[in-house]
Amino acid sequence: MKVNRLMFLFKLCPLLFFSCFVLFAEWKVEPVSAAPAALPASLTEVLQKEGFKVVGENGNVFCEVWLRATPLPSAPLEDSATLAVPHGTFMGVIHFPNKGADRRGQPIQPGLYTMRLSFFPQNGDHQGVAPQRDFLVLTPLEADADPNATPGFEQLTNLSKKVSGTPHPAVFSMWKVDSEFKPGFEKMGESDWVLQAKIGDTPVAIILIGRAEA
């Protein structure tokens, strides 16, 4: 039993070290030009021409993000959500040149991923995760290249599990900014780093680096 516990801790240590390094480092955003050539034209043509590169103190790149340029479609506003947008709406793409992590601390392998809007379920499992239900869910690019698709919750969750490699999707907390919109990247609280930018013509905030408390 002791050997098994030691092995578990040994495997866990690199992830804990990585998480601590990411959360307590200082970060900034730099502009990055056209989206990667590996993206299919169906996605490139609906993305903004300039993206955001999140860079650490040592010059290492944590991630690169390109957001949707075209206006977001509308839908009835869901309870406790901030965006009146259909579930599964394409919001942009994200690139991890090195191993990354999501809002839950789940590791994300290097690569390109699509980002879609989801609303977490209103149940006890998600109580206290965030004040709002809006989240960005990452999906594998090779299985999700249609910007007009709006996958349902179960389909989107199953796609995202392939990114996280766990029973939970890979997620980033986000919300619509209704007032005091400040484009840029800044630290909020002890560990969250938040990008404020526009998706289409909608101002939003996205926690690109951080850790959910619940």
This prediction's pTM:
0.85
Question: For residue range 150-208, what is the model confidence (pLDDT) as tens digits?
Answer: 999 999 999 999 999 999 999 999 999 998 899 999 999 888 999 999 999 999 999 99
Q: How far is CA 113 from CA 36, 49, 58, 73, 163, in A?
A: 11, 17, 25, 21, 8
Q: What angle do CA 189, 12, 100 make, to 5 degrees?
A: 55
Question: For residue range 89-140, what is the model confidence (pLDDT) as tens digits?
Answer: 999 999 999 999 998 889 999 999 999 999 988 655 544 455 789 999 999 9
- pLDDT for position 130: 58
